[in-house]
Amino acid sequence: MGPEQMTVRAIELASTEPRERCSQCPTHPRGVPVTVCDVHPIPDTTKVDLVCHYRGCSNDGRRPEGLQEVDPPHGTCELGMLFAHAAWLEAASVPAFLRLADELREHGAPERLIQAARRSAADEVRHTRAMRELAHRHGATMPEVDIAPFHSRGLDAMCLENATEGCVREAYGALVAGWQARSAHDAEVRHAMTAIAKDELRHAELAWAVDAWASERMPPTTRERLREARRETLHDLRNEVERHAPPPVLVRDAGVPSQAEALRLVHGMAQLLA
């Protein structure tokens, strides 16, 4: 979870000063904006290593439909950016789960699934508070959450979002949260992520329970579309991890998986889904 970076080696630039964005920035696979570009001159040459930092994170969890991207907080450290962005994503998950609860009721789902979705929304409120406090500790403020108005949708559309954002990305988020709970050098981060990891695991279990319930009411062609959506999302997730690496400070202090560690987590998920 957190900012990512990509290095474009040995290119010519007119200036070696850091800038908010440059014309050479590679496109992030999910369209995540660049936060800043660092330029490192290569000795005895006229070329530089250009390191472009992105605000995104691989374990975006249950992003609601219509979530508007925001600019990162300026003038803060990478840890502050990480926790402010995490708080923003946690806050955005609250209406996502409330919408899921409403849609489950509308489609006649069991009460246990409806209540689990509402309980998950309450979990995300606590997660937002925890991440916001960590962000403030590092001088950052959580951006405002802006989501386009929800519209009524059918069972298929609800389940497609659940398959990608819940069954895959939320499940990966639970793995990353558990990793952070064990690996972060910062004791406050370990404490916060220990509680969050348990909740996120329940959220992933809810996603799969919703998938199982809905699958019984769908024709084989629709079930196959959901399976294919999960496979594609997992493939996208693997590509994101392969193309972007978290800064060392996030690996050390926040326990964010390194690129190699994240790849192992994705590989393990792929084996389970297979």
227 occurs within a structural domain = yes
User: Are 100 and 37 found together in one domain?
Assistant: no
The region that residue 44 occupies, defined by phi over 0 for left and psi between -120 and 50 for alpha, beta otherwise, is: left
User: Which segments of 16-170 does DSSP mark as H helices, in order?
Assistant: 78-106, 111-137, 155-161
Q: What's the chain's average pLDDT?
A: 86
User: Are 196 and 93 found together in one domain?
Assistant: yes
State residue 272's pLDDT score: 86
262 occurs within a structural domain = yes
Report whether pLDDT(75) > 70. no
Of 89, 4, 3, 59, nearest to 173 by C-alpha is: 59
User: Are 38 and 137 found together in one domain?
Assistant: no
User: Are 47 and 87 found together in one domain?
Assistant: no
Residue 8 is inside which H or E element, if any? strand 4-11
- In the chain, the number of structural domains is 2
204 occurs within a structural domain = yes
Q: Are 131 and 142 in contact (CB under 8 A)?
A: yes
Among 70-74, 87-91, 178-182, the minimum mean pLDDT is found in: 70-74
Torsion of CA 82, 86, 87, 93, to 10 degrees: 170
User: Are 18 and 145 found together in one domain?
Assistant: no
Tally: H helices and E strands in the chain: 8, 3
Structural domain containing residue 256: 78-273
User: Are 105 and 203 found together in one domain?
Assistant: yes
Residues in the chain: 274
163 occurs within a structural domain = yes
65 occurs within a structural domain = no
User: Are 130 and 184 found together in one domain?
Assistant: yes
Report whether pLDDT(5) > 60. no
Q: Are 68 and 102 in contact (CB under 8 A)?
A: no
User: Are 49 and 182 found together in one domain?
Assistant: no
pLDDT band of 67, cuts 50, 70, 90? very high
Among 73-77, 132-136, 195-199, the minimum mean pLDDT is found in: 73-77
